[in-house]
Chains A and B, each alone.
Chain A
Amino acid sequence: MSVLVDISHRLGGFAIEARFESAGRLTALFGPSGSGKTTLINMIAGLIRPDKGRIEVDGRVLVDTAAGIFVPKHKRRIGMVFQDARLFPHMSVASNLRYGRWFTPPAERYADLDAVVDLLGIGPLMNRRPAKLSGGEKQRVAIGRALLASPSLLLMDEPLASLDEARKAEILPYIERLRDETKIPIVYVSHSVAEVARLASDVVMLAQGNVIAGGPTEAVMQRLDLLPAEERGEGGAVLDTRVLRHDETFGMTVLGSAAGEIRVPRLAMTTGARVRIRIRARDVMIATEKPTGLSALNILPGTITAISPGEGPAVEVGIDCNGATVLARITEQSRHTLKLHLGGKVFAVVKTVSFDRANTGAGLPAEADG
């Protein structure tokens, strides 16, 4: 399964010139507002016709302006979840869910109503009208509606952007299940580091209509310098870990990672479960010798592999901890005082309480079936 987009398009004074290819489970189109990501996803859905270029999904050519090909949206079999849900107000939740099914050829119907309703936890809503749903419920129904059209690709356009933090936290696990339990590849538009780091297997980073980086999430998210200014504080290393054990006495969970054991607040996950964590660079301290008499529980030994200037008085330090890179944002003064240099042996220190629901989520399953 792969998505290929190679287009150039002009919208008033704004030019988009983007090319990317991804075969990930969940590819995030990530960038600040106005970077062109929604335009790109609308082009994949067939809602916008690009001036020039080519779009392919799984080898099927949807757009090829040179050959005069433009498959209309209703023939693309690409599901779309809009930021504003767009449930049909004159239909019940159940009718909304069944809508796409009518138009799917029987041979291509793979989505099962009961399974989808169960996956998204929308059973109790079936007889309600969209106007009577909360924002989070609307979005879950919208996801279900798109899934039940049995699409070959699912597009999500900032599905959480119009929700408050509590509603976001309510929906994120469902999107994780969608990513891990269904086989539909997802292209997910977002401007939030927290969402992308938690959900994406691959990231395409956009700025001013151009692709500025692309690849696996762990690698792309290392590039703190590419993050939009307002999201920089959220930037940090993304690590895939497993639950080793729970510490019931102190209400903690011990995660195993390449960098060593990491203690986080108690997670409702079973031992062995995959967990993806994001360690914000600003939450990481650096010590040149193993600290004692310190409250922080996570002390990871490593080697400095990168030092780059950050914003203002900050520098960003990359620390290789046994193969896993941890990023730290410290002041230039500290770097100077500690005489940090490339190749230096240091300890990255992270407080357990710096982990919360926003930067701890279910990890992606291993790439077994591609």
Chain B
Amino acid sequence: MNWLLDLTPDEWNAVRLSIKVATVAMLASLPPGILIALLLARGQFWGKTLLNGLVHLPLILPPVVTGYLLLLTFGRRGPAGAFLAEHFGIVFSFRWTGAALACGVMGFPLMVRAIRLSIEAVDRRMEAAAGTLGANPLWVFATITLPLILPGLIAGAILAFAKAMGEFGATITFVSNIPNETQTLPSAIYTFTQVPGGDEGALRLTLISIVISMAALVASEVLARRVGRRMDIE
């Protein structure tokens, strides 16, 4: 067992970085994810199909294409990248933030789908009842809609996290494979497989990868069950 836990500093960094990137990607995509899911579930507007298609694009495009598009838009010379760097000092290219962006974008359709389904399942008559009790639409959302879609939110967040943990193509295309900066677990495993004698390291990271993903899944199950029990929905 010793060889399994005896990680080199670079391997530890890859593990830590992966968790950081996946967590940030998940948390940062939650607010826009909820907003877009709301729009798609309840909005009646021109271009809804287009928005829906756009959101799902990362799911159907080859990840390399998504990564390249991110490089074009959020790279140093890209329109969005240049703007953000100049006005807010946020740089994506070849930084871990870029990896988080790539992972977030790749997981976004999964998150939106899960949240959208749970919003569509909300009994809108509950919201009407809250309205007659004096709650304005914002309060209705915060006190009725949000708690009722919590299981969907958790499911969507965990899906996005798991997707981020496994993201490879878009990340490596957008921010490359720099140890300590953008080398996440999949990139590190890939690197190991490219050098002679790297099998042991690749296997170690693979097992760690499995453990983290399983832990996330179990955590989401436990959380969802807790929320469900609290609500007592039969």
Interface size class of B (residues with CB under 8 A): 20 to 34
B133 at the binding interface (Cβ < 8 Å): yes
**Which A residues lie within 8 Å of B234 (CB)?**
131
Q: For residue A47, which residues in chain B have a CB less than 8 angstroms away from its CB? A: 128, 131-132
Contact assessment for B129 and A86 in the assembled complex, using a CB-CB cutoff below 8 Å = yes
Assess the A129–B232 pair: CB atoms within 8 A. Answer: yes
Select A103's contact among B125, B134, B148, beta carbons within 8 Å.
B134
Q: What is the bound-complex CA distance between A104 and B131, given in angstroms?
A: 12
* Given known contacts A90-B231, A132-B232, A74 and B129 CB-to-CB distance under 8 angstroms: no
User: Would you list which residues of chain A between 8 and 48 have a CB under 8 Å from chain B?
Assistant: 45-47
Whether, in the assembled complex, B136 has its beta carbon less than 8 Å from a beta carbon of chain A, the answer is yes
Binds B, one of A76-84, A115-123, A279-287, A304-312: A76-84
**Majority secondary structure of chain B interface residues (helix, strand, loop or mixed):** helix
A90/B134 in contact, CB under 8 A: no
- Complexed CA–CA distance, A74 and B136 (Å): 6
Contact with A along B101-143 (1 / 0, CB 8 A): 0000000000000000000000101101111111111011001
A140 at the interface (CB under 8 A from B): no
Interface check A291, CB cutoff 8 A: no
Residue of B nearest to A104 (CB): B134
Contact B134 A149 (CB under 8 A): yes
Residues in A with CB closer than 8 Å to B148 are: 89-90
B132 touches A79 (CB 8 A): yes
**For A149, what are the chain B residues with a Cβ–Cβ distance below 8 Å?**
132-134
Partner of B128, one of A73, A102, A103, A132: A73
Q: Is A99 an interface residue (CB 8 A)?
A: yes
| Interface flag for B38 (CB, 8 Å) | no
Cross-chain contact A100 with B133 (CB below 8 angstroms): yes
CB distance from A218 to the nearest CB of B (A): 32
Residue A146 at the chain B interface, CB threshold 8 Å = yes
CB of B50 within 8 Å of the partner chain: no
B230 at the interface (CB under 8 A from A): yes
- Between A80, A90, A103, A132, the greatest number of chain B beta carbons within 10 A of the residue's beta carbon is seen for A90
Shortest C-beta distance, B53 to chain A (Å), equals 33
Interchain nearest-CB distance for B153 vs A (Å)? 13
Nearest B-chain residue to A78, judged by Cβ: B132
Known: A103-B139, A104-B134. A89 touches B129 (CB 8 A): no
Quick one: closest B residue to A145, CB to CB? B133
15 A-B pairs, CB-CB below 8 angstroms?
A47-B131, A73-B128, A74-B140, A75-B134, A78-B132, A80-B129, A80-B132, A86-B123, A86-B125, A86-B126, A88-B130, A90-B230, A99-B135, A102-B135, A149-B133
Interface pairs A-B: 8 shortest CB-CB:
A103-B134, A100-B133, A131-B232, A86-B129, A80-B132, A129-B232, A73-B131, A90-B147
New A-B contacts (18) at CB < 8 Å, excluding given A47-B131, A100-B133: A45-B132, A47-B132, A73-B128, A73-B131, A78-B132, A84-B125, A86-B123, A86-B129, A88-B129, A88-B130, A89-B148, A90-B147, A90-B148, A99-B130, A100-B134, A102-B134, A131-B232, A131-B233
List the interface of chain B (C-beta within 8 A of A): 123, 125-126, 128-137, 139-140, 143-144, 147-148, 230-234
